[in-house]
Amino acid sequence: MEFVQHNIWLILLAAFSGFMLIFPSLRSKISGAEEVDTTGAVQLINHDNALVLDVREASEFSSGHIADAKHIPVGQLGNSLKTLEKYKDQAIVVNCRSGARSAMACGVLRKNGFTKVYNLKGGIQAWQQAGLPTVK
């Protein structure tokens, strides 16, 4: 017990570090979306005719996006669900800059009955780092 009293800050730091390591996997489980890497996303786009949904802001989207991506900022997604109805049973790859906003968007889509929703792991940054093309 004396060890705990003398090293409480180290113990708390270790616990916090452990939580931060598992948080990304918990976030994807909470959102209900399956994460897909860039290779998996390309396969979904090419073989399953997946819709690419970009949920970044307009200025981010115009600076470069995946070809044929549909743009709906995450803040407007709830009001735009009707425009996505025809994709309800089709694969949808959702992306943002790094994967956080797209995880939230995946949760919104799943709650509204979209069945094949995939979050692009690492977002457009991972896409570009993999050397995959973007358009402006």
Mark whether 106 is an active-site residue: no
**Catalytic site residue from 33, 44, 96, 109:** 96
At 69, list the tokens: 């991506």
Catalytic residues: 96
